[in-house]
Chain A
Amino acid sequence: MTTQRSAIRELVVDDHDLFRVGLSSLLAGYEGLEVVAQASGGRMAVRLAAELRPDVILMDLRMPDLSGPAATRAILEKDASARIIALTVAAEESDVTVAVSAGVCGYLIKDAPVDDVVSAICAAASGAAWLLPRAAQAVLE
């Protein structure tokens, strides 16, 4: 008898169509991951998160209709256990602080290779802590 592990279900939120579609396509190539939906803005993300209850939400921070931090707060109001990772070009300490204050469980700049995005997703889904070696080294220095 074999035990089947269910795939980690993600919601990808970004107002840049190419990024959303490209990332979803790349993630689809990884075993054990399933992009269940994409949202082109914060409001759509809030609705889809409530409907689909994804395991992990990848959230852009700068979006025209509803910002990532505002969408994160709205999602967590409905489901406090939602696991949301900020995935953004915004890389200043103040951006990290705003996102963490809103309730994200993780942060990753878009410079990161897709393998790192996958590692972050897996960590978030399992409830584990994760720190990119580059970030750990910078913190230690």
Chain B
Amino acid sequence: MPRSQRPPRKAAPQAAPASAEAAQLRELSARCRGGRPPPRENVEEALSQGFARLVMLEAELVRARRRGATAAEATDRLGVQALVKELEELRHALEQLRSQTSSPAPLAHGFVFPARRKR
């Protein structure tokens, strides 16, 4: 179908410009290093935005790899490389801010209680 006849794409939330979240995380990390720790709310909001960007990029990477496997186009490979690089930068920025603020409580890393009774 020609591009002009295609139905409009469903509106999807747009990711912020590349690495905007990583830059924000790095800025907060710098404040921590400089002895001016930001308020907890600011840290949590930056982490929330960072993890949101992270899962979006991971989902994009899965799609890009799937595309690349079928099309094997050079542009796809470049796209995958750029995504991987941004993911690495973002993960590093998230880990850095986590380590400079409060360490997660042990149980916060993940648990599920067994069900008391069946549904």
Contact = CB atoms under 8 A, between A and B. Distances in A.
| A interface, size bucket | 35 or more
A31 to B, nearest CB: 14
A91 B112 contact: no
B74 interface: no
B59 A131 contact: no
Contact of B112 (A19, A81, A96, A129): A129
B34 to A, nearest CB: 22
B111 A106 contact: yes
B24 interface: no
Interface string A86-101: 0001111101100000
B112 A89 contact: no
A65 interface: no
Interface string A9-26: 000001011110111011
Interface in A121-136: 123-124, 127-132, 134-135
Contact of B52 (A16, A83, A85, A92): A16
Contacts of A92: 102, 104-105, 108
Contacts of B13: 17-18, 21
B111 A114 contact: no
A120 B108 contact: no
Given A62-B44, A81-B117, A116 B110 contact: yes
20 contacts: A16-B49, A18-B53, A18-B56, A19-B51, A19-B55, A21-B12, A22-B55, A22-B56, A25-B63, A81-B115, A89-B47, A90-B108, A92-B104, A93-B105, A111-B104, A129-B112, A132-B110, A135-B106, A135-B110, A138-B107
